Structure 1
Amino acid sequence: MLTAFPSRSKKETKMKFRLLLASLLGTSNGGSIGMDGALTTADVPAKFLEDVYFVNQVPIMALQVDTRISYALYVPEAQYNPDPSKNPTPAKLPLLVYVHGTGRNIASMYTDLAAFANSTSCAVLAPLFPAGMDGPNDIDSYKELSSEKLRSDLGLLSVLDQVAYRWPGLETEKVFMMGFSGGGQFAHRFLYLYPERLSAISIGSPGRPTFLDDTQDWPLGIADVQDVFNKKVDTGLIGDVTIQFVVGSKDAELHGDEDFWQWKNDTLGSGGLPPMNVTRLESIQQLRESFTDAGIESQFEIVDGVAHDEMGVRKTVFGFLQPEIQKGR
């Protein structure tokens, strides 16, 4: 049922629905990134931005160049400049990228991450990499960044391109990132390949990390990164990023016992990520040591009394990210 808008003229109401239709079907030019015909916030009168779902909670969007991938976005309306080319004030909003874990739960986008965006003056982006992209039994491929059918690193870069086109008031060239568990795995591997795209990063409790070890191949180490990604790991650029490692003091249980990993190997094969043979509390300390050995400074937070619980470390993560995001505001 359609609802009347008594405070608006018939012309404004007609424009509202025309803009909503245009936002869903697209009307401008961005063909090189799959956005041919896409409406941007610069095309929409500011008073209609919420009506076309371009500010506050944005509907989950498909990545146009690979519709297997989608993303959620929160843009605080009161702090967003829809067209910086016409009015440079306020400056572009910083963008925080939240990388989900194995369970693909992005519910925080509608609760504490949205509240954090409002209080910090930033936008939050959550790319969504569905399970099954590399086959019906796949749940881990996005964490490795490169697999037979998926380059999740390029997927995120394409998401950032799409967001940059449609939301010109967001700063997408250099972003902030947070990830816990499987998200922490993606996050630190993305840091290795694209440190120039990151201002600060929180790496939370990655169970099976990639060490800065040039004697082992990816995803255990970085010996063959040039062959896999056609890129080099630049520890100097990584050192320019402000880095937090975070884990709970009770995050000391293995995911699956020896029988589970043997069954998994027999059933699905031994490719991809290795079995987890040390706790996350141990592995993150080893990961941080590999950074230190490479001359890369980082912060290390062990949150007392917390097990493998993303929300249990969230306050510590926000406490790290908020001042970093606000530095340039």
Structure 2
Amino acid sequence: MTAERPLAPWDLPAGHPGISFLTGPTAQFALARDPRFSYCLYVPRHHSPDVPPRPLVVTVHGTRRRSETLRNAFTDFAEAHDCVVLAPLFPAGITGPNDVDSYKLLSTTGFRPDELLLDMVEEAAARWHVRTDRFHLHGFSGGGQFAHRFAYLHSDRLASLSIGAPGRITLLDPTRAWPHGTADMKEQFSTDADPAALRGLPVQLVIGEDDNGTADLPPPDAGGAAPTGTSRMDRINSLRANWRAHGIDTRLDVIPGVAHDHFAVLAAVKEFLAAQLT
């Protein structure tokens, strides 16, 4: 039995109603490898196979999993810069009824969200005309946690990296175990931390100026964590200092008058991404 091939927009005749489901804001597509996970995209209306593969921007949700809302916030950006935007969905409750964090930590218990994202990228490329060798990755809050940890494992797949206000961070620290440091990365993920691989990668750190709340954050030393500070502002600065000590340059954007609000920092994120796309 032959596997069914994913239809691309150009497989359909002009005026076919299916084209409207494959361009613009798409539906949520279940991941073939593991249908517990899904993704949606924004595909520019004039998307075509007659030009080089288009850049791919991946935007990762926070704990509330507002993946479609996040995708929708990039509609005008995708049209203006002729790029495809992919928003994965990592549902809560995957590793247990109270699980909200496993995707952020790149959990090795039951599933690997980093590998699932790479599967989503390859699946998207089977239907749309996008680059798969390197893509642009942005995440905020829980998505910011995912994004910088993903970079430790797959820096070779990134064209740029935007990390927004992570509540917990993983330092390049060979004395502390994952997810606080990188001492046991080889045992956990079959790869070692390689700071040199991140040097030269365009990296943005972005946070609201007033993002100093601590009510929903774990304490700074919970579980043996490095003393990274009590607020997201402290922690993003700790990550920046740690990376700088390893020769990794970052751009820090602090947005005036903004607290912990993903959508209020997106203008700065888009400005950063636009510079990379051009």
Q: Residue 8 of structure 2 aligns with which residue?
A: 41
Are the counterparts in 2 of residues 225 and 231 from structure 1 also a CA contact under 8 Å?
yes
What does 1:173-188 correspond to in 2, within 5 Å?
A: 173-188=133-148
What is the aligned counterpart of 2:210 among 250, 260, 263? 250
Change (3 A) 1:300 1:72: same
Q: Secondary structure at the match of 1:77?
A: coil
Q: Does 1:211 align with 2:179?
A: no
Q: How far apart, CA to CA, are the structure 2 residues paired with 1:161 and 1:109?
A: 21
1:109-149 deviation digits (Å, cap 9, x = unpaired) = 45321111111111100010000001111000000112311
Q: How far apart, CA to CA, are the structure 1 residues paired with 2:217 and 2:160?
A: 35
1:81-110 deviation digits (Å, cap 9, x = unpaired) = 23xxxxxx4211101000000000124345
What is the aligned counterpart of 1:51 among 11, 18, 22? 18
1:248-297 deviation digits (Å, cap 9, x = unpaired) = 11111103488xx7xxxxxxxx8799999610000000001110000111
Deviates more, 1:49-58 or 1:97-106: 49-58
Q: Residue 115 of structure 2 aligns with which residue?
A: 154
Q: How far apart, CA to CA, are the structure 2 residues paired with 1:281 and 1:129?
A: 25
Q: How far apart, CA to CA, are the structure 2 residues paired with 1:132 and 1:289?
A: 34
Comparing both structures, which one devotes a greater share of its residues to helix?
Answer: 1
Q: How far apart, CA to CA, are the structure 2 residues paired with 1:99 and 1:272?
A: 27
Q: How far apart, CA to CA, are the structure 2 residues paired with 1:147 and 1:126?
A: 22
Change (3 A) 1:189 1:319: same
What is the aligned counterpart of 1:190 among 150, 155, 160? 150
Q: State the structure with more CA Rg.
A: 1
What is the aligned counterpart of 1:136 among 87, 97, 102? 97
1:288-328 deviation digits (Å, cap 9, x = unpaired) = 11100001111111111111111121111111111211x2x
Q: Residue 198 of structure 2 aligns with which residue?
A: 238
Deviates more, 1:39-48 or 1:179-188: 39-48
Q: Residue 31 of structure 2 aligns with which residue?
A: 63
What is the aligned counterpart of 1:77 among 39, 45, 64? 45
Change (3 A) 1:275 1:146: farther
Q: Residue 314 of structure 1 aligns with which residue?
A: 266
What does 1:157-172 correspond to in 2, within 5 Å?
A: 157-167=118-128, 169-172=129-132
Q: How far apart, CA to CA, are the structure 2 residues paired with 1:302 and 1:45?
A: 46
Deviates more, 1:140-149 or 1:62-71: 140-149
User: Normalising by the residue count of structure 2, what TM-score does the alignment of the two structures yield?
Assistant: 0.91
Deviation at 1:239, TM superposition (A): 1.2
Over the matched positions of the two proteins, sequence identity in percent amounts to: 38
The number of residue pairs the alignment matches comes to 275
